[in-house]
Amino acid sequence: MHIPVLQKEVLEIFDPKPNQNFIDCTIGEGGHSLAILEKTAPEGKILGIDWDQEMIKSLMSKVESLKLRRRLILVNDSFVNLKEIVKKESFKDVKGILLDLGISSWHLEKSGRGFSFQQDEPLDMRYNQNSKLTAEKILNEWSEKEIEKILKEYGEERFAKRISKKIVEERKIKPIRTTFQLVEIIKKAIPSWYHTRFSGYPKIHFATRTFQALRIAVNDELENLKKVLPQALEILERNGKLVVISFHSLEDRIVKNFFKDYSHGRIRIPERSEVAPFACKIITKKPIRPSAEEMKSNPRSRSARLRSALKL
**Burial degree of 7 (CB within 10 A; 0-12, 13-18, 19+):** middle
Residues in the chain with pLDDT values less than 70: 1-2, 65, 195-203, 265-266, 268-274
Could you read off the pLDDT of 140-170 as tens digits, one per residue? 999 999 999 999 999 999 999 999 999 999 9
Q: What is the model's pTM? A: 0.91
Query: CATH topology of 7-106+221-311 equal to that of 113-219?
Result: no
pLDDT at 271: 62
Q: How far apart are CA 300 and CA 102, in angstroms?
A: 9
Task: Give the model confidence (pLDDT) of 93-150 as tens digits.
Answer: 999 999 999 888 888 888 999 999 999 999 999 999 999 999 999 999 999 999 999 9
Which pLDDT value is given to residue 208?
A: 92
In the chain, where the domains are located: 7-106+221-311, 113-219
**pLDDT of res. 1:** 47
- Measured CA to CA in angstroms, residue 202 lies from 101, 208, 242, 303 at distances of 19, 12, 27, 8
CATH of domain 7-106+221-311: 3.40.50.150
- CATH topology for 113-219 is DNA polymerase; domain 1 (1.10.150)
Decide: 124 and 135 in contact? Cβ < 8 Å: yes
pLDDT at 201: 44
